């Protein structure tokens, strides 16, 4: 049975590839589903309707043959990308659903039950084979930054820097205080005698007296200098 379903899927995909590329230039490639059609635990009768639904609207239909079905879902003027496709067998809803993908192909066994057959449904059969790989999902968001690492060891000491330029001269200091006065020096020697005046008279007498006083003063100063 599995081999038959696989061949049916391959046949359906081959038919898609046989469609001229000019058609796909205007239409989006459909999604193909093949598999078994089970109703109330037994294979659906030949001619049983198998339908596909998107958002409550029937989008494709076929009939079962030998308990198998092959269904091609073309989105037409609508956009089914990422939407869920549900199925019915003879009008009864199947438990299986699948997302519609552009150009997809899946082996999907449908198990439906009528209202009268639901109560007498036996144990579930073994799981069917896994479907074809779907398209990769979008990349997840970046994780949070990790904690900061421990500090590394200190690096080696750097080389000495260049000498700085010479500073400018400082301001001139304040002038010092005046020194104390020195002691008086010794009296100089007596000058030579003046020339003799002409003729006597009152002026000659006065000049003589002044000269005598000067000699006495010079002698006194000299004597006081020696005593000192």
Q: Collapsing DSSP states into helix, strand and coil, what is residue 228? A: coil
pLDDT reported for residue 168: 80
pLDDT reported for residue 97: 96
Give the pair of three-digit tokens for residue 155.
């690096």
10-43 residue pLDDT tens: 555 555 555 544 444 457 889 999 999 999 999 9
Binning pLDDT at 50, 70 and 90, where does residue 155 land? confident
Q: What percent of the chain has pLDDT over 90?
A: 32
Higher-scoring residue by pLDDT: 32, 207? 32
Specify the range with the lowest mean pLDDT, choosing from 18-22, 127-131, 139-143: 18-22
pLDDT reported for residue 121: 47
Residue 56 burial by CB count (10 A; 0-12/13-18/19+): exposed, middle or buried?
exposed
Give the pair of three-digit tokens for residue 164.
């700085």
Higher-scoring residue by pLDDT: 173, 14? 173
45-102 residue pLDDT tens: 999 999 999 999 999 999 999 999 999 998 877 788 889 999 999 999 999 999 999 8
Checking if the pLDDT of 142 tops 60, the result is: yes
Q: What percent of the chain has pLDDT over 70?
A: 60
Checking if the pLDDT of 114 tops 80, the result is: yes
pLDDT reported for residue 75: 82
Closest residue by Cα to residue 38 from 101, 114, 100, 105: 114
Query: How far, CA to CA in Å, does 45 sit from each of 60, 69, 95, 115, 127?
Result: 19, 11, 19, 17, 22
pLDDT reported for residue 146: 75
pLDDT reported for residue 220: 66
pLDDT reported for residue 24: 43
189-201 residue pLDDT tens: 766 665 654 555 6
CB 7 within 8 A of CB 32: no
């Amino acid at each position: 049975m599995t081999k038959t379903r696989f061949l049916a899927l391959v046949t359906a995909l081959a038919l898609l590839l046989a469609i001229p590329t000019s058609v796909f230039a205007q239409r989006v490639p459909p999604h193909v589903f093949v598999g078994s059609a089970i109703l109330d635990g037994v294979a659906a009768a030949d001619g049983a309707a198998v339908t596909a639904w998107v958002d409550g609207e029937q989008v494709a239909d076929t009939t079962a043959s030998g308990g198998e079905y092959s269904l091609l879902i073309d989105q037409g003027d609508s956009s089914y990308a990422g939407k869920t496709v549900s199925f019915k067998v003879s009008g009864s809803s199947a438990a299986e659903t699948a997302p519609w993908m552009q150009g997809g192909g899946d082996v999907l066994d449908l198990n439906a039950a009528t209202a009268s057959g639901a109560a007498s449904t036996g144990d579930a059969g073994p799981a069917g084979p896994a479907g074809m790989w779907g398209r990769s999902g979008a990349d997840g968001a970046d994780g949070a930054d990790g904690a900061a690492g421990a500090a590394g060891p200190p690096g080696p000491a750097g080389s000495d820097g260049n000498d700085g330029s010479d500073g400018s001269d400082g301001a001139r200091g304040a002038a010092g205080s005046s020194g104390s006065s020195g002691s008086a020096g010794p009296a100089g020697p007596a000058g030579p005698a003046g020339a003799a005046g002409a003729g006597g008279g009152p002026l000659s007498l006065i000049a003589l007296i002044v000269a005598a006083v000067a000699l006495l003063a010079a002698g006194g100063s000299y004597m006081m200098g020696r005593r000192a």
